[in-house]
Structure 1
Amino acid sequence: MNKIILSTGNINKVEEIEDILKGLPFSIYSKKEIGLGDLEVEEDGETLEENAIKKALAISEKVNGIVIADDTGLFVDALDGAPGVYSARYAGEEASYEDNNKKLLEELKGVALAERDAKFKTIIAIVTEDKQVKTVSGECKGKIGFELKGKEGFGYDPLFIVEGYEKTFAQLGEEIKNKISHRAKALEKLKIELEKLVEDD
């Protein structure tokens, strides 16, 4: 059984990846489960790729096995791609989801819906056992709404109106989100990469 270590303490992410990789010969662990729960990596890269690779390599140096790390950002056209890599701390280092959403709405004050195009992007970095680095990505397009709608999800989900659905991620709910989201698309590509690793073995 090949070991995969996730650069996250988030149990939901662990379960999500376990679900997607069902049937493949991998056992999946969070960084906490292998005793690296205190390892914090400063995400000071200028791109999502840099941050994801940095997080994956930090763990890969300390373990044997495949390491996976991801980084996600929201890119708003009218704001020249902001918040981008700063999505989690848009309103400051200790900002809550609420603070970030409030700031985003303020920045887009007076901007018409037609000009509120945005996309979510996820990058997943994979460091193989022989320390090769690969990345896969997923994107989801939409628009930023004028008010929070929906109770599901987290982060910018109540503001992000998904293209083709005319509802926010927070209104669509987890089940649909997990099929169409940026993360879901990146995870599908991750699965293909891991299947290749199994074949190469």
Structure 2
Amino acid sequence: MTRLLVASRNAKKLAEMRRILAGAGVEVVGLDEVPPFPEAPETGATFEDNAVAKARDAAAETGLPAVADDSGLAVDALNGMPGVFSARWAGRTRSDEANLRLVLEQVADVPDERLTASFVCASALVLPDSTEIIVRGEWPGRLVREPRGGNGFGYDPIFVPEGETRTSAELTSAEKDAISHRGRALQLLLPHLRTLSRP
């Protein structure tokens, strides 16, 4: 089975990607399962910039086909922020909880009807022959004022997907994988990943 390197050390993200890619016919490995190499900081202006830079580095350093994604929360009332800064919105060493609380503080005076937001995920697949495929998934919804639910990570506890009353953190893993921004992006990559496992 072809090994596919997911350029991430985030255990929750890796578990999510392994579930979504279970039918792709590839063995998903993370950065902690390959020899270490220098990882460039995320300095891109867009999710796509960051995703493809990480995937290029991973493929070049390991010789494996590599997938990387960059994802985040885009809040309309904050002009699309935190966006590419989602993981470090409250500072580089801050936690998911601190990031989430800062967003809630920043929208405290925004009326409920204007708390629209989307999760965005750009995924890049880079092959050893330098082929690059970049896709994007978006998951529209709205914010709630207090976190709810214990599933998921990041901003999931304050994000209610369009058509739902539950937060992303209240959905089961299977429900979330089927409709999330990462699930949508990876579904677009699946046809390309399946070709890797063909003789």
Q: TM-score, normalised by structure 1?
A: 0.90
Contact 2:21 2:186 in 1 (8 A): no
Residues 167-191 of structure 1, C-alpha deviation per residue, up to 9 Å, x if partnerless? 1111223231122111111111111
**Does structure 1 residue 98 correspond to structure 2 residue 120?**
no
**Does structure 1 residue 10 correspond to structure 2 residue 19?**
no
Of structures 1 and 2, the one scoring higher in RCO (CA 8 A, sep 6+) is 2
Letter of the 1:189 counterpart: L
| Partner residue, 1:78 | 77
Q: 1:13 to 1:79 in 2, by over 3 A?
A: closer
Secondary structure of residue in 1 paired with 2:67: strand
Structure 2: 5+ residue runs without aligned partners? none
Deviation, structure 1 residue 15: 4.1
Greater CA drift, 59-68 or 8-17: 8-17
Letter of the 2:92 counterpart: E
Secondary structure of residue in 2 paired with 1:27: strand
Greater CA drift, 165-174 or 140-149: 165-174
| Distance in 2 separating the partners of 1:170 and 1:22 | 22
| Partner residue, 2:33 | 33
Secondary structure of residue in 2 paired with 1:85: helix
| Distance in 2 separating the partners of 1:191 and 1:148 | 32
| Partner residue, 1:142 | 141
| Distance in 2 separating the partners of 1:34 and 1:138 | 28
| Partner residue, 2:108 | 109
Q: 1:58 to 1:32 in 2, by over 3 A?
A: same
Residues 114-170 of structure 1, C-alpha deviation per residue, up to 9 Å, x if partnerless? 111100011111101211111111111100111112222211111101110121111
| Partner residue, 1:159 | 158
| Distance in 2 separating the partners of 1:25 and 1:155 | 29
| Partner residue, 1:184 | 183
Q: 1:90 to 1:61 in 2, by over 3 A?
A: same
Q: Which has the higher helix share?
A: 2
| Distance in 1 separating the partners of 2:147 and 2:23 | 38
Contact 1:20 1:191 in 2 (8 A): no
Q: 1:25 to 1:145 in 2, by over 3 A?
A: closer
Contact 2:26 2:193 in 1 (8 A): no
Contact 2:151 2:173 in 1 (8 A): yes
Contact 1:20 1:187 in 2 (8 A): yes
Q: 1:148 to 1:25 in 2, by over 3 A?
A: closer
Greater CA drift, 185-194 or 86-95: 185-194
Deviation, structure 1 residue 23: 4.8
Q: 1:79 to 1:13 in 2, by over 3 A?
A: closer
Sequence identity of aligned pairs in percent? 37
Contact 1:119 1:140 in 2 (8 A): yes
